[in-house]
Amino acid sequence: MSDYNFAYLDEPTKKMIRRAILKGLAVPGYQVPFASREMPMPYGWGTGGVQVTAACLTPEDTLKVIDQGADDTTNAVSIRSFFAKVAGVATTTRTGEASVIQTRHRIPETPLRSDQILVYQVPIPEPLRFLEPRETETRRMHALEEYGLMHIKLYEDIARHGAIATAYAYPALVNGRHVFDPSPIPRFDNPRLESPAIQLFGAGREQRIYALPPFTRVQSLDFDDHPFEASKADGACALCGATHTYLDEIVADDQGTRRFQCSDTDYCMERRA
């Protein structure tokens, strides 16, 4: 092993983060402030998720890291090798083999289990931010359950586009109490926020941690006459033929031919194996 403390962060820091995580689990959807540390990577590269992962890892864990569903992007590869180096944990690209999965903007297609932890990287944890810039005011709104503002955003969507156009970071009500931002996952993933796994959300720059305990009720906000829809591109994966997965649209050649492909690379490969 290296000269780093296990999983890079010192033990008091991990303890502090674990306390924030426990508080987050105790009050589902509530944003717990924590003293985010400088990490050896820039903000926006998952510093929040990395700190949460570091606080959760044990030497026996197997780690998977995905970025928009893929295991092989720069961000995913570097975070995976970071923990392989500073924690010496096993890594994998297989969803089923992982005990801790750090993700940027996706939930794996393979259903998660109760012995797994999913760690989200969160850029902006405050769902009310775009309408109310004052943190003092948004905190009060959460405290008093004043969530009329969230529906204004959806109202504006319908007024302007004829339908709720919010395609990712789709706000939802957690456990009937706190409205939260599920990080920029596609709204296709929202129904799977109700999961047997523990889900933890870390925002490094914004210094917030929040959580969904297993099987927490998560209701995506909507209108009676414009109900929530977990939409996806209308097509099939060009590689595995799946029509039930979240698809990326990619330009395949110099002629501009477009095709769809599973966003979850591991799931796609397993289907083809």
Partner 1 sequence: MSILERSISAEAPLLSVNGLTRFYGSRVGCQNVAFDLYPGEVMGIVGESGSGKSTLLSCLAGHLETDAGQVVYNGQDVLTLPEPARRRLMRTDWAFVHQHARDGLRMNVSAGGNVGERLMAGGARHYGNIRKTAEDWLERVEIDPGRIDDRPSAFSGGMQQRLQIARGLVTGPKLVLMDEPTGGLDVSVQARLLDLLRGLVRRMGLSVVIVTHDIGVVRLLADRLMVMRHGQVVEHGLTDRVLDDPQHAYTQLLVNSVLPT
What residue ranges bind partner 1 (CB under 8 A)? Answer: 131, 140, 144-149, 151-152, 155-156, 158-160, 222-226
Per DSSP, which regions of 195-235 are E strands?
198-203, 208-212, 218-220
Which of 49, 88, 240, 256 is flagged as catalytic? Answer: 240
Residue 240 falls in the annotated catalytic set: yes
Which of 29, 48, 49, 69 is flagged as catalytic? Answer: 29
Tokens of 256: 């501009």
What radius of gyration do the chain's Cα atoms show?
19
Which of 24, 48, 204, 268 is flagged as catalytic? Answer: 268
Q: Measured from the CB of residue 169, what is the shortest distance to partner 1 in angstroms?
A: 18
Residue 56 falls in the annotated catalytic set: no
Report the candidate in 107, 127, 123, 106 with the shortest Cα–Cα distance to residue 181.
127
Please list the alpha-helical segments (H only) found in the chain: 11-26, 47-56, 74-86, 135-143, 148-161, 265-272
Which of 44, 96, 237, 256 is flagged as catalytic? Answer: 237
Residue 262 falls in the annotated catalytic set: yes
Nearer Cβ to partner 1, position 160 or 244?
A: 160
Spatial separation of the C-alpha atoms in residues 86 and 140, rounded to whole Å: 40
Q: Which residues are 62's β-sheet partners?
A: 90
Q: Find how far residue 157's CA is from the centre of its chain.
A: 23
Spatial separation of the C-alpha atoms in residues 6 and 142, rounded to whole Å: 36
Phi-psi region of 55 (alpha: psi -120 to 50; beta: other; left: phi over 0): alpha
Q: Measured from the CB of residue 164, what is the shortest distance to partner 1 in angstroms?
A: 9
Q: Measured from the CB of residue 190, what is the shortest distance to partner 1 in angstroms?
A: 18
Q: Measured from the CB of residue 130, what is the shortest distance to partner 1 in angstroms?
A: 9
Nearer Cβ to partner 1, position 101 or 154?
A: 154
Residue 237 falls in the annotated catalytic set: yes
Nearer Cβ to partner 1, position 41 or 149?
A: 149
Nearer Cβ to partner 1, position 89 or 172?
A: 172
Spatial separation of the C-alpha atoms in residues 56 and 42, rounded to whole Å: 21
Report the candidate in 241, 122, 121, 107 with the shortest Cα–Cα distance to residue 187.
107
Nearer Cβ to partner 1, position 158 or 240?
A: 158
Q: Measured from the CB of residue 179, what is the shortest distance to partner 1 in angstroms?
A: 13
The residues assigned a catalytic role are 29, 237, 240, 262, 268
